A = this chain, B = another copy of it.
Amino acid sequence: MVEKELETKERIISTSRVLFAEKGFEGTTIRNIATEAEVNVASVNYYFSSKEKLFEAVLRAGFNDCAAEVTKIMIPGTRLEDGLVQMFRYHLDHRHDLLSMFKLLMSTQEKQRFMPDESQDFGPPGGKCVADAIIRELGKRPRDQDLHWALKILFSHVTHTAILYTCCFKDRHIPFTSDEDIEQSIRRLCRVVLADLA
C-alpha cells in the first residue's frame, strides 16, 4: 500500500525532526522515535536502513525547507527589515530544524559523518537572497567587505536570537525578551547597519 507507506515514512520523519533536535543524535533512540510516531520499531530500519541515514534525511529536509522559505521571503519588493523578521518567525515556527542543524554544526564527530568534504562550504540558507535585498535597499552595491559585514551581523543576530528565544526566553519573564521585543531589536539593528553602509 503506497498510501500507508507514505504515512508511516512521514510520521517517522516528522517525529525524528523533533526528537533529534531535543535530544541530539546520540540521545535519541530508534525505540523513542518508533514509540512517539506510533509505528513499529522495525519500520524505522525498514524505511531508512539505519539511524544515520534517517538523520541525514531529517537534516536535508530541514535545510531545504529553510532555504526555500528564505528565497520566498526575500523577493524584490520585500523590505529588508520585514524579511529578517519573517526569517526570525520562520525559525521560531521550525525551531527543531534550526536546533538540529546547529547541533550538527557544533559536533565535530557527527559533522564529519554527515557533512564530509567541501559540502561544508555552503553559507547560511538563503544568504545570497539576503545580500540581494541589502543591495536593493541601499540602491547601490557596497564594497564586498561591507556587504559581508552586514550579512554576518544580521544573520548572526537573527539566528542566535531565534535559538535563545526557543531555548531560554520562551515562556519565561525576562525583560526585553518577548518576541515583539526581539522583532523590534532586529528592525533597529537592520536600520543601524544599513545607515552605516549608506
Contact = CB atoms under 8 A, between A and B. Distances in A.
Nearest to A29: B26
Contacts of A47: none
Interface string A80-118: 000000000000000000010011011111110000000
26 contacts: A22-B108, A23-B26, A23-B107, A23-B108, A24-B107, A26-B26, A27-B107, A27-B110, A99-B106, A102-B106, A103-B106, A106-B163, A120-B168, A120-B172, A121-B172, A148-B175, A149-B176, A149-B188, A152-B176, A153-B185, A153-B189, A156-B157, A156-B161, A157-B160, A192-B192, A192-B193
A193 to B, nearest CB: 7
Main secondary structure of the interface of A (DSSP, over half): helix
Q: Copies of this chain, how many? A: 2
B24 A24 contact: yes
Interface size class of A (residues with CB under 8 A): 35 or more
Contacts of A26: 23-24, 26-27
